[in-house]
Structure 1
Amino acid sequence: MAHDRHRLSRALLPTASLAWVFASLLVVLIVFDPKAASAANPLQLHGALVREHDVGIVAHRGAATLAPENTLASFRLALEQEVEFVETDVHLTADGVPVLMHDPDVDRTTNGHGPLARLTLAQLQTLDAGSWFSADFAGEPVPTLEDFLDLLTPTATRAFLELKGDWSPDRVDAAVEQLRARNLANRVVLASFERRTLESVRELAPEFATILLTRTLDRDTIRYATTIQASAVCARDTLIAEHPAAVRELKAAGIGTIAYTLNSERQWARAEKLGVHFFVTDDAAALSEWRDQRSA
């Protein structure tokens, strides 16, 4: 009988071990499920976009003084510069593909006409997004978000993606899946003026840092940024200059401040004095040189 009990115990061991393994795997899946992070504070995951010793540089639409904005040519040049972030703007085509362009219409930066949202990707890809800037860039295409991410991923630079307009939750989720597929949660921040879009990001992609773009810096704005646990608030430099206390209040709440669009030493010096943490600029090379001189 004792021998029978011993054999039974040994027979049960593999079953118990398998049960333990499956339970452990279940715990791992729960812990590392990105959507399970919704209970976490994004500021705990990412930290505030705050810099203590020098300013951070955000290359606006790539290297927009050297190449046509929001094109792969512009992004390649920006990625060669000493910047913390490359910024770009994401719209959706008529067939729901994320593409990079600032304006809602294609007129200013391509040879096409009309609202981008009414064009399919195939139609958009027939347009020339470079000739308006220089004949040297003739034939430059309108890039997709996927094109940009393919360029970004092998580098160490981070990306600042502004989601233009009001994005439905399913479209936010589709764009975020492109980022997740490349393991870019720690290298891409998602920004918008639209509160519903940011709330969708917070709900569907809590592992990504968010930036509240704003045209106001009143109490409601600061309260809202705190509520959604934004990593930073981004506003025009003149608006920040009108509300200098906002930078201090946001920092006290663990939230950074980003100013746009700063292209002169006068603007850089004023924003630095106000305590702004990141400067969005069209001339990253000049700002980088200015920053180096200040820290020398």
Structure 2
Amino acid sequence: MMPCYEQETPGRLGPLTRLKALQLVIGLPFLIVLLFLYLMPMGIHSPCIQEKESLGPKPTLFGHRGAPMLGPENTMMSFEKAVEHGAHGLEFDIHLSTDSVPFLMHDHDLRRTTDIREVVPSASRNRSDSFSWDFLSTLNAGKWFLKDKPFYKMEPLSEADHEKARSQKIPKLRHLLDLARKEKKKVIFDLTRPPSKHPLRDSYVSVVVSVILASKMDPHLIFWLPAFDRDYVRYLAPGFQHVGRLQSVEKLTEQNISMINVDYKELFYGGLR
């Protein structure tokens, strides 16, 4: 005789048996669906899934103002870091001093990336190109980077890089070109036209081209972006590669331009057409 708690009523399942049946009813379809989802990509043809041997060339990467999370933007430290991390080209911004020296600076004034507010507070809002090189060369262009940490989740700098960043100065264009020539890197840049009363208002393009040619860089590594006086640049330096903006194919063809520099957001909607 079985004890009463072990007896089962004929035609009725015990709680344990019902639980196992429920697990089977739910678990088996789940495992089948999971297996289907796991195997499904194998039957899908996608241009995004290719064998490594059939992939196209890797994209050419330019360091935007150098490597601005590793060193103060548009300084030699930043560009050296970009080279160190394998950038194929260097992107930067050029202004011209009142005494004809092209230098690297993005902003129209010096407040964000130099210590001009400490040095000459009254002139801190003046345009970057309203100063002589003798003055610009005295400014510090790295302390702000250590103080402000301009990018979220920046990796801590080593002690050596910390000290190097602290001592950065505004570089001349020639300094950057010497690095690019040595490392055989492509360069592309924005060139700001000086204000109306600047002594180089109408000759700034020829000054910049002269500095580039004097650097003995391979002209094919120069990606010329400024649209002003493009025909004149082609005459002075026929080896430069010219880069246009987002225009119609007809206008680009007319200017003999096959490369464009475009913010990706502009390519949505009608841009790609």
TM-score normalised by length of structure 1:
0.58
Q: What code does the residue aligned with 2:137 have? A: Q
Runs (4+) of structure 1 moved beyond 6 Å? Answer: none
1:93 pairs with 2:97: yes
Q: Is this contact kept in 2: 1:189–1:210, CA < 8 A?
A: yes
Task: State the alpha-carbon separation in 2 of the partners of residues 156 and 218 from structure 1.
Answer: 30
1:242 pairs with 2:269: yes
Q: Which has the higher strand share?
A: 1
Change over 3 Å in CA distance of 1:228–1:200 after alignment to 2:
same
Q: Is this contact kept in 1: 2:193–2:201, CA < 8 A?
A: no
Which residue matches 2:167? 139
SS in 2 for 1:117: helix
Task: State the alpha-carbon separation in 1 of the partners of residues 88 and 253 from structure 2.
Answer: 24
Task: State the alpha-carbon separation in 2 of the partners of residues 105 and 82 from structure 1.
Answer: 31
Give CA deviations for 1:67-123 in whole Å, capped at 9, x if unaligned: 110000001001112222111111111122110011111111111222111100011
Change over 3 Å in CA distance of 1:183–1:54 after alignment to 2:
closer
Query: Which structure's relative contact order is higher, taking Cα pairs within 8 Å and 6+ residues apart?
Result: 1
Q: Which of 201, 211, 215 pairs up with 2:243?
A: 211
1:116 pairs with 2:144: no
Q: Is this contact kept in 2: 1:173–1:205, CA < 8 A?
A: no
Q: What code does the residue aligned with 2:140 have? A: D
1:184 pairs with 2:211: no
1:171 pairs with 2:204: yes
Q: Is this contact kept in 1: 2:187–2:221, CA < 8 A?
A: yes
Q: What code does the residue aligned with 1:90 have? A: I
Task: State the alpha-carbon separation in 2 of the partners of residues 172 and 244 from structure 1.
Answer: 29
Q: Which runs of 5+ in 1 are unaligned?
A: 1-51, 247-296
1:129 pairs with 2:162: no
Which residue matches 2:181? 153
Which residue matches 2:63? 59
SS in 2 for 1:235: coil
1:70 pairs with 2:74: yes
> RMSD value over aligned CA atoms?
2.1
1:82 pairs with 2:94: no
Q: Which runs of 5+ in 2 are unaligned?
A: 1-55, 117-123, 148-161, 195-199
Identity of matched residues, % = 28
Change over 3 Å in CA distance of 1:65–1:206 after alignment to 2:
same
The structure number with the bigger radius of gyration is 2
